[in-house]
Amino acid sequence: MPELRKDPIIGRWVIISVERAKRPDDFVSTNGGPSEGECPFCEGKETNTPPEIYAIRKFGSKKNASGWDVRVVPSKTPFLRIEGNLDRTGKGIYDVMSGVGAHEIVIETPHHIANIADLDEEQIAKVLTCLVERFKDLEKDERFKYVLVFKNYGWSAGAGKVKHSRTQLIATPVTPKRVKEELIGSSEYYEHHERCIFCDLINQEIASKSRVILDIDGFISIAPFASRFPFEMWILPKKHSCDFYNLSFENNLDLARIIKKTLLKLRKGLNDPSFNLILHTAPFRRKKAGYWKTINEDYHWHIEIMPRLTRVAGFEWGTGFYICPIPPEDAAKYLREIEV
């Protein structure tokens, strides 16, 4: 059982993997990416993954067999384990919690395609539908407080050897620190202004135009004012909502369209760089968790995309200050002008 441990100073939780303990020579050099072996995610290879949790399938096809469009399976090497109770214990000044959680892989296409930007809009919309369904299902499990959805594309973004397009989903028993910071920031703003900070941000960005990359179908993609990374991009729904999984069926397709166009611009403009994509959404409102009353009004779900073009070094780790070598206004202008 992996362990969660809490930093007593700044409240950051870490997962200590006891069973998967690595030896020093297990670490591969970060030079380039290793060559790809056989892909367990392709159609016809369904028995190479753990049994599927959910899938969008063609009529009449069988579970764990061919005939699917999008497929969700548990991770073969999960960070957290689904079985077990949440046990919290103290060890002197330290807090320890058992590593209960869910770690799932959403296989975005039956074909061996690496970049989600190469899928068609309908296919991406199906991926979004799968994510919404997984949120609804995981919400029923009272042990989980938060679901993190993210994508590592390319070796320097932390992707594994297999290049097949996929998104990962991790349900955690605590609300993670970064998420909490964002929630606290949003609620403080709401307390002073009685408005959602993200709605204000969207209005200001649309008015000033300089950092807008795309403004289509009820969504915008922007290069954020305080970008941490060069060519960082956010996708936000113009309509206020704190929960991603309240996305309606028709909005699914609109969101799929802006995701595809935004990522195509990145690929074309920067020669197919590695990136991380992270969904920021509100935690589940559990009775005991004591979340503030205004979360529905003060928080606004969105997607953050971080291309991996620079290296994070001592300065960034030490300070939480990031050095961004290109102004977001220049990045937005460059990306705006790329035809897709």
Partner 1 sequence: MAVLRKDPVSSRWVIINVDNPKKPEDFEKEEHVFKKGPCPFCYGNEFMTPPEIDAFRHEGTYPNTPGWLVRTVSNKFPALQIEGDLERRGEGIYDMSNGIGAHEIIIETPYHDKTITDLTDEEAASVINMYCRRSIDLQKDKRFKYILIFKNYGAAAGASLEHSHSQLIALPMIPKNVLEELAGSRKYFEYRGRCIFCDIARQEIQEEERVLIETNHFVSFCPFVSRFPFEIQILPKEHSCHFHEIKEKEMLELAKILKETLLRLKVALSDHSYNFIIHTSPFDRESHDYYHWHIEIMPRLTRVAGFEWGTGFYLVPTPPEAAIKYLKEAKI
Rounded to whole angstroms, the Cα distance separating 322 from 312 reads: 8
Instruction: Tell me the HSE value of 255 on the side-chain side, using a 13 A CA sphere.
Output: 27
User: Is position 340 an interface residue for partner 1 (rule: CB under 8 A)?
Assistant: no
Q: Closer to partner 1 by CB, 66 or 75: give it.
A: 75
Q: Which span (3-11, 45-53, 124-132, 136-144) binds partner 1, by CB under 8 A? A: 3-11
- CB of 62 vs partner 1, minimal distance in Å: 32
User: 9 to 68, contacts with partner 1 by CB under 8 A?
Assistant: 9-18, 20-27, 30-32
**Residue 220 interacting with partner 1 (CB under 8 A):** no
What is d(CA 143, CA 149) in angstroms, rounded to the nearest whole number?
A: 18
| Interacting residues of 331 by C-beta distance below 8 A, sequence separation 6+ | 223, 227, 230, 231, 232
Residue 5 or 285 having the CB closest to partner 1: 5
292 counts as binding partner 1 under rule CB under 8 A: no
Asked if 210 contacts 222 with a C-beta cutoff of 8 angstroms, the reply is: no
Window contacting partner 1 (CB under 8 A); options: 81-89, 108-116, 119-127, 143-151: 143-151
107 DSSP β-pair partners: 71, 166
Task: Give me the sign of the Cα torsion angle 242, 244, 246, 251.
Answer: positive
Q: Quick check: 116 and 263 in contact, CB under 8 A? A: yes
From residue 181, alpha-carbon distances to 12, 104, 117, 146, 201 in Å are 11, 25, 30, 14, 17
Q: Which of 135, 144, 155, 244 binds partner 1 (CB under 8 A)?
A: 155
Q: How many binding residues for partner 1 (CB under 8 A)? A: 97
Closest contact distance (angstroms) between CB of 108 and partner 1 is 15
| Identity of the residue, 114 or 278, whose beta carbon is nearer to partner 1 in the bound complex | 278
Q: In angstroms, what is the minimal distance from the CB of 202 to partner 1?
A: 11
Site string for partner 1, 85-104 (x = CB under 8 A): ------xxxx----------
Residues 232-291 binding partner 1 (CB under 8 A) are 269-271, 273-274, 276-280
Q: Which of 172, 162, 104 is nearest to 134 (CA)?
A: 104
Give 182 or 243: the residue with its C-beta nearer to partner 1: 182
